[in-house]
Structure 1
Amino acid sequence: MAPAAEANPPSPLPLPMSHRSVVSMFGDDGDSAPLWFKKDAFSSPAFDPEAYISDLRRFVPFETLRAELRGHLGGLKNELVELINRDYTDFVNLSTKLVDVDGAVLRMRMPLNELRGRLVMVRDNVNATLLKLQDGLKRRADMSASREILELLLDTSHVVSKVEKLLLELQSMPEEGPQVPQADKSDGFRRVYSNGNLGEEQGASLEETRSRLLERIASEMNRLKFYVARAQDLPFIQNMKARISSADESLDAALRRCFVGALERRDETVIVHCLRAYAAIDNSAGAEEAFRSAVVAPFVQRIVFSQPSGVAATPRSDRLEEVLEEIKVHVQTDCQFLLDKAAAANSGLLVFDFLSNSILKEVLSSLQKGKPGAFSPGKPTEFLANYKSSLKFLGFLEEYCRSQTAVGAFRTTVAYADFIKQWNLQIYFTLRFQEIAQSLDQALAGPSVAQRGLAKAGENSLGLALSSSCTLWECLQRCWQDDVYIDAISDKFLRLTLQLLARHATWLSVGLAARRAGSATNHLGGEWALASAPEDFVLLRHDVELLVRMIKSSYTEEVLALLNGSAEDVTAVVRESLSMGSQSLLTMVPALSDVLTEALTEKCVEVLKQAKGIIATYRMTNRPLPSRHSPYVTSVFQPLKAFVDDERYAHVTKEMQAELITSVSEKITAQYDVLARDMVSVARQTEASLQLLRRGARQRGAGGADTSDNISDNLSDKICAQLFLDVQEYGRRLAALGVAAADIPAYISLWQCVAPQDRQEVVRYTLS
């Protein structure tokens, strides 16, 4: 049957007619595809149809995508058919060659099963061997660990026995050597003076031997503590804790006795051995406490708790300056040798901090007990003096630090922090704040500026006019005086300075608002402005400008000098803050000037209103053209001149007077221009009305002469002539005050309103 099949193979498969094939028949490129259709994506191992479709659908319509995929499917089917047709004979013979496949599978399965069995046996043998090896290694590790623990326990027992033996040897040593003369206990130390050199050398040798033995015991104790730390949970170590604690206590007691004795004799060799022993057992606190109690405490307590002879009932003074100065002397004479030893390079004694844990700690403790009132801010003056003395004392102690790093470490110690915490600077500042702010509030309180008084001749040398301004300046200076200012709270004093400036600016602002409103009902605190004369406001302006100048110049430099050492950005912020604070006062200047300017303008304009009588004069009488100015002109600037000549306002500078005169002159001239134009307009309207009446009477043929002709003829010309004379005199009065009338636009307008036609272009008048 197989040969028959091979002889008559089936015919090749017909190619399916697809859209692409049809297109190819007509000459179009069947393999062309859009750029977005990537055929290679289907062959990727990570191809995800859903992700592929969702990505394409964002910019390709679904129908287009489906048509393209169907076209590609048709192309793939055509390629498959072409491949089958190309190798059709092999494709047909593929099924005929697969003969007795099951038998071949059975023949191959048997050796494979045998090989699997052998591999399983080998694997089991390897696993068993591995387990044996791991078990052996574990037992070996356990034995090694047990051996290490046993060796550790043996070493611990040996070291404990050795320490106990050395302690017995130490106890068997005589407490004192050959007889040595009694020590001199002056200044908290004992200084030995011996007539026999031999006895002194033997005594020193005994103590040195004792100190060396203590150093050796401390070394062994350090090793013992290392062993105990590694095996502290073992029962053997737990049973030995009593022996270890007893040895430790004995060592501490013996070491303290030896160290204190060496301090009393000032035996540097023994002291160094004892310090090394303390360092070896990591008990620096014990050495520091021994030095504190044996050396520092006696002279500190004697100085702090001593009473002057004969005045036992008198309470102790809480001032610390003399106390701390005396303590400094004793530190230099009695403690410096040990501080130098501990701080020496390569000495191995840098673990000790006698500076803070012995000296500063004892000083603080004694001051708290003997002079508790020294830390009370209830008396700010004494508190500040004590605080500055304490800072000097801390600076004195910092001089014993060999580097800036050591200074930083000293400032981070607990004793240093506790010493600084005793000074409650917040309460001190609160008391100073109340003192300074209250003095300014009292100076600003009162019914009027005049009633609070002008500055006295000896009250200030700066030229301030008002006592309230002097008080403000004194408060500003007080914030930074040596008997008030503290560097640690410089930010608070800067804030107080700015608050004082803001308080004064608010006081001025509220007063000006109350004066503009004419009532202090809605402006509490502005009553002073209503009760003050307008002339008082120019004194306020003078003081404000002077204060601002002083703050921006000398005052700011003084503040920055106190902040010397601060960062540049801090200095810039302080300078800007003071400038802004003074600027808040400077913004009040225009309003302060306007009060007096408006008041003087009103007084002058009242005199100026007398010019209205000119119309009545020439309307009711038949006067000829005027030849001299009106009397009112000479009195227009009398209120202004009276203010300038008043000695009470001698503080007002020439520049301020000139500015005030110019401002008032401009306002008066503007009013004068309006008044003159109204008068000329009324005169011309009256003249026009009378002319119409005369013309109507003549047309009616009325008999008799018109008696009003002589009165009304040239009325506007006469008024303009009179006003022109007045305006010229007005300009002379302005010139007498130092104001050029031609520089005032309102005067030019006034001149052109009343001057004859031939003189309107140029403002020119003769000065008397």
Structure 2
Amino acid sequence: MFFWSSEANCPHRAAQSRGAAAVTEVWEKTKKEGADLGFASAPGSMAELHPPPRPATDIFGDPIDALPLWFKKGSFLRRDFDPEAYVADLRAFVPLEGLRAELRVHLASLNAELVDHLNRDYADFVSLSTRLVDVDAAVARMRAPLAELRDKVSVLRGNIASSLAALKGGLGQRAEASEAREVLELLLDAFHVVSNVEKLIEALRSIPNDLSSTDVINLEKSSIHSGIPLQGNEALVNPHKTRSVLLERIASEMNRLKFYVAHAQNLPFIENMEKRIHGASLLLDDSLRHCFISGLERKDHEALLNCLRAYAATGNVSGAEEVFRATIVFPLIQKVIPYSPSDRDGYAPSNDLEEDYQQIMKIIEAECKFLLDISSSGFHVFDFLANSILKEVLFAIRKGKPGAFSPGRPTEFLKNYKLSLDFLSDLEGYCPSRSAVAKFRSEDVYADFMKQWNIGVYFSLRFQEIAGNLDSALIATTIALVPNIPSPQGNHEGLILKQSTVLLESLKSCWRDDVLVLSCSDKFLRLSLQLILRYSTWLTSGLAARKVNTGGSNAIPSSDWAVAALPEDFIYEFKHLKAITATYRMTIKGPPVRHSPYVSGLLRPVKAFLDGERIAYLTVETRNQFLVSAAERITSRYYDLVSELVDTVRKTESSLQRIRQTAQRRGGTSTDASDNSISNTDKLCMQYFLDIQEYGRNLAELGVAASDIPAYRSLWQCVAPADRQTTITF
């Protein structure tokens, strides 16, 4: 620190004096404010301060004036603090008077804290004026070296900028030169490739189909002249292999040439060579096509491998697939499915594809499998299976048998559709891997083949056929009964109404093999549910209409069948037998004394038939045969029902008796052996015995001896008392 002798000689001294005067003025003002805040005198030191009173505490030791939990001091320090929003949020659960009191307490604490900070740092604040001495001189002494440093940095920055500009210019020139060199090398490589291709084409043209000794010498000279050596004597004696090898090399060079042309477009040098490149490309395509056809005809494995490599190198995959389709597949498929009926002698117009597919699969196995095996060994870019074979088969069916795709004949359509799916499955068997199968299915021709089978239209026709049959049966105005006559088709599971049998047949039709399409199984399931709902609605509405129209009012037109039906039409089983069981089981009814009313109605339909007018057309022998047959069937059914009910009741009663005896033994009581009450089973058998006696009398009135019917004898032994088991008497 430097000090000057007088203020006149040191302007910084005067500035220092003025600063001290200002600080003194601030200090005097601080003393006054300190007195106002509670200081007895100017706060000269910490000892002179009046320490704040210690807050009173409650019984638990907590300050009585402690802030409540809802009062957060940190909220006032946030940048986005909004007084109005703060008050609005708190007034919902804090009175404004309480909020104002807490704010005042917080203000007082802040004031006390401010005074505390002033008193703690008071000595440093006062000594600030004594340290502000000769500040301007110190600044002047530091300014000179800083200015000198600024000048040096400025000069250095200029030198660096000029060096950087020169460096960038050199790098730009180097990049331009490198780019020009790359273009030049590219053009030179393109020129060399074109020349090499032309030499290979010249060597290709010099290869005859059949080599003689003179041709071998000329071929050797041509190979030496073109710089393309022929390896071994095998190449000299096998012109087809040699040609395929040259074509593979030409294709490889043409692939390189395409790369060069793509990276050097719009250059005059390349434009001048376009004619040569185009000519070489045409010659390559034509020569490769002929070589591939020759290899296919001779089934030359090595020649075909070379040709496929050449096609893959040039990217002309579709060209190879089309050559195979036109050369091999087309003539073979044409023999099976000609494009027009006149192309085959004795052609019979038929849309059935079963025999065609069988012949096509034999052709594929015999004539196409060799190429499929070659293409599957590393040539995954080719798909002869789809783009050659399937494409030609689809085209042949479209031309020769367009009706095979027509759903107008649903049965033939479905048969051809399933045969086609099997055919595709057989084709997939030639795929060597799952990825090959996925690629086969992803081809456009595969999707096009599947689009030919309009399954939606087929289902619509089947829907109209199946649903129409049921609707035709349900719109009848009378109930049609199905005769209970054995037939090869069965008895329709015991159904009596014709409408019920039609429903059953319709439901079965939905799931027959010659109707169902697995891809539409959800639609056929919905159709089945719709058929059931249609029948249920028909039956429910008819019964409701019959109930409404029993008083003789006008019948509902769609429910005439129910109103016009006789009560007997709604009876299916002699269900009164089960009612007899319930009568004796649920009540304490005594032993029966007479037969049940239902017995008189068992033979009523037979008697009505025998008393009819048309019975006169039958001979006496035929009439008797009918009567005996009907009596035997009715009696057999009668026996089945009675024996089942009696057996069930006996088992139930035996179980109850065992449970009752077990409970009595546990309770310490015993059964009364002298109890001679009749059991429910005995009462039931007595009722059935009276019923079959009446039934036997009714048979006798019709001229049928009940004892001659085996089922009646079994029925008698089932329910007759022990003393009447051997003799059948009414």
* Aligned counterpart in structure 2 of residue 428 of structure 1, from 443, 451, 458: 458
> What does residue range 199-598 of structure 1 map to in structure 2 within 5 Å?
205-305=238-338, 316-344=349-377, 348-450=378-480, 453-454=482-483, 456-458=485-487, 460-462=489-491, 463-518=494-549, 525-539=558-572
* Aligned counterpart in structure 2 of residue 154 of structure 1, from 179, 188, 195: 188
- Residue 107 (structure 2) pairs with residue 70 (structure 1): yes
Q: Is the 8 A contact 2:353 2:416 kept in 1?
A: yes
2:716 corresponding residue in structure 1:
none
> What does residue range 749-768 of structure 1 map to in structure 2 within 5 Å?
none
Q: Give the aligned residue type for 2:37.
A: P
How big is each residue's C-alpha offset from its partner over 1:274-304, in whole Å with a ceiling of 9 and x where there is no partner? Answer: 1111111122111111111110001111221
Deviation of 1:510 after TM superposition, in Å, equals 1.6
Alpha-carbon distance change, 736 to 251 in structure 1, aligned in 2, over 3 angstroms:
same
Alpha-carbon distance change, 109 to 55 in structure 1, aligned in 2, over 3 angstroms:
farther
Q: Which secondary structure state, in structure 2, belongs to the residue aligned with residue 24 of structure 1?
A: coil
Distance in 1, matches of 2:51 and 2:126, equals 29
Distance in 2, matches of 1:449 and 1:40, equals 91
Q: Is the 8 A contact 2:187 2:269 kept in 1?
A: yes
Distance in 2, matches of 1:507 and 1:203, equals 89
Q: Is the 8 A contact 1:454 1:466 kept in 2?
A: no
Alpha-carbon distance change, 30 to 16 in structure 1, aligned in 2, over 3 angstroms:
farther
Distance in 1, matches of 2:141 and 2:639, equals 128
Deviation of 1:161 after TM superposition, in Å, equals 2.1
Q: Give the aligned residue type for 1:172.
A: S
Q: Which secondary structure state, in structure 2, belongs to the residue aligned with residue 449 of structure 1?
A: coil
1:561 corresponding residue in structure 2:
none
Deviation of 1:120 after TM superposition, in Å, equals 2.3
Distance in 1, matches of 2:102 and 2:291, equals 100
Q: Which secondary structure state, in structure 2, belongs to the residue aligned with residue 447 of structure 1?
A: coil
Distance in 2, matches of 1:240 and 1:310, equals 49
More displaced 10-residue stretch of structure 1: 729-738 or 125-134: 729-738
* Aligned counterpart in structure 2 of residue 114 of structure 1, from 127, 148, 171: 148
Q: Is the 8 A contact 2:467 2:531 kept in 1?
A: yes
Deviation of 1:363 after TM superposition, in Å, equals 0.7
Alpha-carbon distance change, 281 to 521 in structure 1, aligned in 2, over 3 angstroms:
farther
Distance in 1, matches of 2:365 and 2:513, equals 29
> What does residue range 118-133 of structure 1 map to in structure 2 within 5 Å?
118-133=152-167
More displaced 10-residue stretch of structure 1: 433-442 or 225-234: 225-234
Distance in 1, matches of 2:210 and 2:417, equals 47
Q: Is the 8 A contact 1:510 1:523 kept in 2?
A: no
Q: Give the aligned residue type for 1:305.
A: P
Alpha-carbon distance change, 361 to 41 in structure 1, aligned in 2, over 3 angstroms:
same
Distance in 2, matches of 1:397 and 1:508, equals 51
Distance in 2, matches of 1:167 and 1:277, equals 14
Alpha-carbon distance change, 354 to 178 in structure 1, aligned in 2, over 3 angstroms:
farther
Alpha-carbon distance change, 102 to 644 in structure 1, aligned in 2, over 3 angstroms:
farther
Deviation of 1:358 after TM superposition, in Å, equals 0.6
Q: Which secondary structure state, in structure 2, belongs to the residue aligned with residue 518 of structure 1?
A: helix
1:168 corresponding residue in structure 2:
202
Deviation of 1:215 after TM superposition, in Å, equals 0.6
> What does residue range 637-676 of structure 1 map to in structure 2 within 5 Å?
638=597, 641-642=600-601, 646=605
Alpha-carbon distance change, 92 to 443 in structure 1, aligned in 2, over 3 angstroms:
closer
More displaced 10-residue stretch of structure 1: 334-343 or 404-413: 404-413
Q: Which secondary structure state, in structure 2, belongs to the residue aligned with residue 173 of structure 1?
A: coil
Gaps of 5+ in 2: 1-6, 8-16, 40-48, 58-62, 214-232, 580-591, 607-629, 646-682, 693-729
> TM-score, normalization: structure 2?
0.66
Q: Give the aligned residue type for 1:290.
A: V
2:227 corresponding residue in structure 1:
none
Q: Is the 8 A contact 1:15 1:78 kept in 2?
A: no
* Aligned counterpart in structure 1 of residue 116 of structure 2, from 79, 87, 103: 79
Q: Is the 8 A contact 1:455 1:467 kept in 2?
A: no
Report how many residues are paired: 557
Gaps of 5+ in 1: 180-199, 543-592, 599-628, 662-728, 739-767
Distance in 2, matches of 1:362 and 1:496, equals 38
Distance in 1, matches of 2:180 and 2:189, equals 14
Alpha-carbon distance change, 117 to 160 in structure 1, aligned in 2, over 3 angstroms:
same
> What does residue range 21-100 of structure 1 map to in structure 2 within 5 Å?
24=53, 49-50=81-82, 54=86, 58=90, 62-83=99-120, 85=122, 87=123, 91-100=125-134
Alpha-carbon distance change, 502 to 524 in structure 1, aligned in 2, over 3 angstroms:
farther
Q: Give the aligned residue type for 1:484.
A: V
Distance in 2, matches of 1:324 and 1:737, equals 68
Alpha-carbon distance change, 394 to 454 in structure 1, aligned in 2, over 3 angstroms:
same
Q: Give the aligned residue type for 1:330.
A: I
Alpha-carbon distance change, 201 to 382 in structure 1, aligned in 2, over 3 angstroms:
farther
Q: Is the 8 A contact 1:159 1:224 kept in 2?
A: yes
How big is each residue's C-alpha offset from its partner over 1:250-287, in whole Å with a ceiling of 9 and x where there is no partner? Answer: 11110000000111111111111111111111221111
Q: Which secondary structure state, in structure 1, belongs to the residue aligned with residue 430 of structure 2?
A: coil
How big is each residue's C-alpha offset from its partner over 1:66-117, in whole Å with a ceiling of 9 and x where there is no partner? Answer: 21431133113321442355x2xx6445325434433443343333223222
Deviation of 1:730 after TM superposition, in Å, equals 14
Distance in 2, matches of 1:478 and 1:236, equals 76
1:17 corresponding residue in structure 2:
38
Distance in 1, matches of 2:121 and 2:684, equals 126
Paired-residue identity, %: 44
Q: Is the 8 A contact 1:153 1:236 kept in 2?
A: yes
How big is each residue's C-alpha offset from its partner over 1:446-490, in whole Å with a ceiling of 9 and x where there is no partner? Answer: 22214x554543274143323332222222222222222222322
Deviation of 1:353 after TM superposition, in Å, equals 0.7
Distance in 2, matches of 1:245 and 1:131, equals 47
Distance in 1, matches of 2:140 and 2:339, equals 116
How big is each residue's C-alpha offset from its partner over 1:7-60, in whole Å with a ceiling of 9 and x where there is no partner? Answer: 9x9796547139x97971887779965566677888x8x766549984996477
Q: Which secondary structure state, in structure 2, belongs to the residue aligned with residue 260 of structure 1?
A: helix
Q: Which secondary structure state, in structure 1, belongs to the residue aligned with residue 432 of structure 2?
A: coil
Distance in 2, matches of 1:65 and 1:136, equals 76
Distance in 2, matches of 1:638 and 1:84, equals 124
2:655 corresponding residue in structure 1:
none
Distance in 2, matches of 1:81 and 1:405, equals 85
Distance in 2, matches of 1:651 and 1:233, equals 105
Distance in 2, matches of 1:106 and 1:343, equals 91
Alpha-carbon distance change, 395 to 53 in structure 1, aligned in 2, over 3 angstroms:
closer
Q: Which secondary structure state, in structure 2, belongs to the residue aligned with residue 457 of structure 1?
A: coil
Distance in 2, matches of 1:650 and 1:233, equals 103
Alpha-carbon distance change, 367 to 734 in structure 1, aligned in 2, over 3 angstroms:
closer
Alpha-carbon distance change, 131 to 643 in structure 1, aligned in 2, over 3 angstroms:
farther
Q: Is the 8 A contact 1:176 1:203 kept in 2?
A: no
Q: Is the 8 A contact 2:339 2:396 kept in 1?
A: no
Deviation of 1:217 after TM superposition, in Å, equals 0.6
